[in-house]
Amino acid sequence: MATVKKTTQRHGFKTGEYIVYPAHGVGQITAIEEQEVAGHKLELFVINFEQDKLTLRVPVSKIESAGMRKLSESQTIDKALKTVSGRARIKRTMWSRRAQEYEAKINSGDLIAISEVVRDLYRSENQPEQSYSERQLYEAALDRMAREISSVNKISTTEAVVLVEKYLAKGPRRGPKAEEAEQEEAA
């Protein structure tokens, strides 16, 4: 059925390399195979997503439309970390609309867009509790961001989460106590 052709590189991607696949996050190209499907020969990237215990086969011709890309450069990581320490920008629209926008940003695979979701949905201890769906989106965005940072900086995912949380803590004060402090400073 699947005849594995010993190809190690296609379109600038090579086996053993870590990549970002927008719908699933960071994965590793384990092989480039050639399969015959309905009489057509297809060249496929075999991508393993260790944490999700998932193997994906993506036709080489579809990598651009799927948005598959190389890991971010360290400058992009720095920009993403600066983004999470910025002021949250929460639109005054219905939660369902915002949730769709956050989901789209997470699945875009764009690290800066993902860091905006992390920043906007972050809650410190002194802030009101998040709804279940907010927490789910926040954790999904944080996980995507941490996995890419851990792959680029060659640290564990846990260390990457700690790093992101350190930058989140540097952000403007949040919550009711912070608002009171800002009003006192203004007086």
- Specify the range with the lowest mean pLDDT, choosing from 30-34, 101-105, 174-178: 174-178
Give the domain range for residue 8: 2-70
Same domain assignment for residues 59 and 17: yes
CATH code, domain carrying 9: 2.40.10.170
Looking at the DSSP assignment, which residues form a beta bridge with residue 43? Answer: 34
Q: What is the pLDDT of residues 139-163, one digit of tens each?
A: 999 999 999 999 999 999 999 999 9
pLDDT-derived band at 174 (thresholds 50, 70, 90) equals low
Same domain, 116 and 150: yes
- Counting the structural domains of the chain, the total is 2
Does one domain contain both 149 and 86? yes
Question: Could you give the CA distance from residue 148 to residue 171 in angstroms, rounded to a whole number?
Answer: 21
**Structure tokens given for 100:** 């769709």
Residues 82 and 163 in one domain: yes
Residue 89 sits in the same domain as residue 130? yes
180 within some domain:
no
User: Are 121 and 167 members of one domain?
Assistant: yes
Q: Which of 70, 88, 116 corresponds to the end of one domain?
A: 70
Structure tokens that stand for 38 in this block: 């309905």
Domain boundary among 14, 43, 70: 70
Please say if the pLDDT value at position 101 is more than 70: yes
Residues 86 and 170 in one domain: yes
Does residue 56 form part of some domain? yes
Is residue 103 located within the same domain as residue 48? no
Claim to verify: residue 89 and residue 144 sit in the same structural domain? yes
Q: Are 82 and 157 found together in one domain? A: yes
What whole-number distance in Å separates Cα of residue 83 and Cα of residue 114?
A: 10
Residues 80 and 142 in one domain: yes
pTM (predicted TM-score): 0.82
Question: What CATH number does residue 128 fall under?
Answer: 1.20.58.1290
- Mean per-residue pLDDT of the chain: 86
**Which pLDDT band, with edges at 50, 70 and 90, does 83 fall under?**
very high
| Residue 65, in any domain of the structure | yes
User: Is 124 a domain residue?
Assistant: yes
